[in-house]
Structure 1
C-alpha cells in the first residue's frame, strides 16, 4: 500500500526499507510509524512510502512537521494572509494606544487564518524569510512571534488549545509598544538611558492592556515577562528560573530569534545559522534550555538540502542533521560525505537558503 507521508497514521508499519534519494538508509521494513518516524521521513524529503495493509485506522492523522524544503507555490495564497495580519496588528496597536485595550475577536481573526493556512507549511524558516521586509518591523515581528510561538508550543507537546493560546500570547507580547513613541522605537542610533528605560516599560504597558482587554492572566504575564531571563538579568522584575511563566519562556526564545533574523533600521539581518548558534549559547545562561533546544532541534532540519560554505572554503550540501550535535550535520562535497559530528576540524561558515 503506497501512501504519502502526510497521510500516515500512528501505528502504520513499513512494508519495505526506506532510503532517501542519496541512498542512505532511513527506516527499516516492519518499523512502526509514530510522530518521530514521520518527522524523520519529512527531514529526508521522502514523499511516498509503502506500508502494510491497515487492520485498524486511527481516527486522526498525525500533524505534519515543518522540516523539509520550501515549495514557493504557497506564496500567492499565504502572502495576502500574512500582509493582512500585519495590517491588522497595526490596527490593534492603534486601538491599544487610543482606547487602552484591544478587541479579542480581532486577535482571533488574525490568528486562525494564519494557523489554518500555515500549520502544514513545511519550511517555516524559508517562508518567514521570504515574507519578511524592512517595512513595519514592529507589526511583522508580532505576527512572526505569534506564528513561531504556536509552532514551538506544538513541539513542546502542549495541547492544541494551549498551543493556540500561546500563539495568541505571541501575537500580543509587544502590544505595550503602542504606548512608546515611534521616534524611540525606530531610532537608528543607540538609545539614551532614559529612552531605553521607556522602551522597557512596554512590558508593563502590555500587561495592563491585555488584562483590560482579556482578563487573561497567562497572556498578561507573557507580555510582562518575555524579557525576563533565567539568570535574573532581564526586566522588568529580574525574575529567575521558574519564577518566569512558561508561556513567557517560549515567547522569549522566539522573540530573540525573530528580532535577530529580521532586517531592522539599526541592524542588518543575521545569518540564520549564526542566530541559532546564539540561541544555543544563551540556553546555558539566559534562556530556558529545554524550550530553546526544542526550538533549535526542529529548526535545524530545515537546513537539509541547503548549500553550505565550510571553513576550508569548500561548498557542500547538507544531507542529514544530528539530533543533538545541532551544528554538525552530514555534508556531501562532490562524491564525498563528511560527518561533522565525527570530523571535528570542519565548521559551517554560512548556509545558503
Structure 2
C-alpha cells in the first residue's frame, strides 16, 4: 500500500509515485526511484514538500539496485532536473561469473524445474494438494543464477522443445519475471514471490482437456470458454496449497487486461496490480516466441511489436517499454545471421550497444555447412561485421537444442 511522507522522510532507494504537496509547479515526468541524496536535495530545491511512495519497491542492500531502473525525473528547468545516475565500472549488478561457467548450473536448475512441474501435475491429477516448498526452492535457485549471470538462464528460455510447451512456459515466465524484477530494482523477497507465482501460474491447465490444450485448429466458443478457466483453476489450486498475495495475483490474473478485455474475471485498470501487469506482458511474450507442435514461434522483435500494439489498452504502456529495454532487441539465445554469412546464437548481451553482442557462431549460411564454434564479440575487433537479423533455425535446418547441449554445456 502506498504511503504519503514528507520530503524530510524521503530516503535514498525509495520509489516515488507522485508529488502531493509543493510550493512550486514542478511536475514528475515519471515514477521512479530516488537513488542518491543529491536527487533528494534537488527535489527540495524545486519546492517539493510531500510525496507518495510505494514501500514495496524500496531498494534493498541485498540485492543492490541496478543502474538501469528509472530515476525520478522532475520536469522543470534544466538545472533542476534530476537525472539518471551514470553506469560505473563498479556496477554491483554486473555478472560475477562467466556465461560458460554458469550455463551448466542453469541447465540443471531448468531440468529440475521441469521434473518438479511434472510431479505437481501428477499430484493434482491424483487429487492431492501440491507441495509449494520445492517451487520456492527452485525460485530461489533462479534468483541466484540470475544475480550471478542472467544470460545463462535467458539463453535457456530461447531453447524450445515443441512438445514441452506446457512445462517450459511457466519456467520461462518465472525466469523472465525474475530478470524483469531485477531490472526494476525490486527487493529480493519481492522477486522471490514473483518467481514462485510465475512458476505455478499455469498449474490450472492440468484440469483442462489435453485435446483442447493441444488443438492445432481454431477453438470452438465452448472450448475457448474452457481454456479461459485455467487461470481460475490455478488461483484455486494455489490457495488450497496455502499460497497468497502476489503468487495468487499472478496465477489468477495473468490473462486480465487493463482495458477489461481479459479473462476470466474481466478485471481492469487499478484492479490489476503492477505484478499482475508484469505477468501478463511476460506470459504473452513467451507464448508468442514459443515453438509448438502446431506453430513456429515469432522472433522477439515480432513479439515486441505485438506488445507495443497493445500497450496502453491491453497492456501497461510503461511496463511494456521497460520490459523491452530489459530483454533487449535481440535477447540472449536468439539465433542471428551476421553480415559475413556466419550464423550463431547470441551468448552475451551488450546493454550499451544492443546491436553488438557476443555471438557464438557455428554455421556458414553461404556454404550451408557447420563450422568450428567461435565467439565473435561484435563490440571488439569486428567492426566490419554487422548483425543482420534474427533468423529461425528452420531456415537452415538447424537443431538448436542439440547444438546447445553439445557445444555450450559440454
- Determine if the TM-score, normalized by the shorter chain, exceeds 0.5: yes
| 2: CA distance, partners of 1:174 / 1:307 | 28
Contact preservation (8 Å) 1:222, 1:245: no
Q: Which has the higher contact order (CA 8 A, sep 6+)?
A: 1
Task: Report the counterpart of residue 164 of structure 1 in structure 2.
Answer: 192
Residues 114 and 154 (structure 1), Cα distance of their counterparts in 2 relative to 1, 3 Å cut: closer
More displaced stretch, 242-251 vs 173-182: 242-251
The CA deviation at 1:120 is 2.2
The CA deviation at 1:351 is 5.9
| 2: CA distance, partners of 1:114 / 1:157 | 16
Contact preservation (8 Å) 1:307, 1:315: no
Matching of residue 139 in structure 1 with residue 167 in structure 2: yes
Task: Report the counterpart of residue 127 of structure 1 in structure 2.
Answer: 156
The CA deviation at 1:188 is 1.7
Contact preservation (8 Å) 2:256, 2:265: yes
Matched position secondary structure for 1:264:
coil
User: Which runs of 5 or more residues in structure 2 are unaligned?
Assistant: 1-34, 37-64, 70-87, 358-377, 394-410
List structure 1 segments (4+ residues) > 4 angstroms apart after TM superposition: 301-304, 306-310, 313-323, 334-338
Contact preservation (8 Å) 2:289, 2:299: yes
Matching of residue 195 in structure 1 with residue 226 in structure 2: no
The CA deviation at 1:246 is 2.3
Q: Deviations over 1:141-172 (max 9, x none)?
A: 11111111122122222221011101111111
| 1: CA distance, partners of 2:392 / 2:223 | 37
More displaced stretch, 276-285 vs 204-213: 276-285
Matching of residue 64 in structure 1 with residue 81 in structure 2: no
Residues 197 and 242 (structure 1), Cα distance of their counterparts in 2 relative to 1, 3 Å cut: same
The CA deviation at 1:227 is 0.3
For residues 207-286 of structure 1, the aligned pairs below 5 Å read: 207-286=235-314
Q: Deviations over 1:92-135 (max 9, x none)?
A: 122233335311212123222233234322425433213x3223
Matching of residue 112 in structure 1 with residue 140 in structure 2: yes
| 2: CA distance, partners of 1:92 / 1:228 | 25
Contact preservation (8 Å) 2:154, 2:176: no
The CA deviation at 1:254 is 0.9
Q: 1:174 aligns with which of 185, 195, 202?
A: 202
Matched position secondary structure for 1:236:
coil
Contact preservation (8 Å) 2:114, 2:168: yes
The CA deviation at 1:65 is 6.5
Contact preservation (8 Å) 1:111, 1:168: yes
Matched position secondary structure for 2:256:
coil
The CA deviation at 1:252 is 0.8
Matched position secondary structure for 1:198:
helix
The CA deviation at 1:197 is 0.7
Q: Deviations over 1:192-232 (max 9, x none)?
A: 11111111101111111111112414322321111001111
For residues 50-61 of structure 1, the aligned pairs below 5 Å read: none
Residues 282 and 316 (structure 1), Cα distance of their counterparts in 2 relative to 1, 3 Å cut: farther
Q: Deviations over 1:57-102 (max 9, x none)?
A: xxxx723369xxx944533332222112111111112223333531
The alignment of Structure 1 onto Structure 2 pairs a total of residues equal to 288
Residues 156 and 194 (structure 1), Cα distance of their counterparts in 2 relative to 1, 3 Å cut: same
Matching of residue 87 in structure 1 with residue 115 in structure 2: yes
Task: Report the counterpart of residue 58 of structure 2 in structure 1.
Answer: none
Between Structure 1 and Structure 2, the one with more strand by share is 2
Residues 234 and 301 (structure 1), Cα distance of their counterparts in 2 relative to 1, 3 Å cut: closer
| 1: CA distance, partners of 2:68 / 2:324 | 19
| 1: CA distance, partners of 2:249 / 2:105 | 34
| 2: CA distance, partners of 1:153 / 1:98 | 35
| 2: CA distance, partners of 1:208 / 1:96 | 12
| 2: CA distance, partners of 1:303 / 1:315 | 20
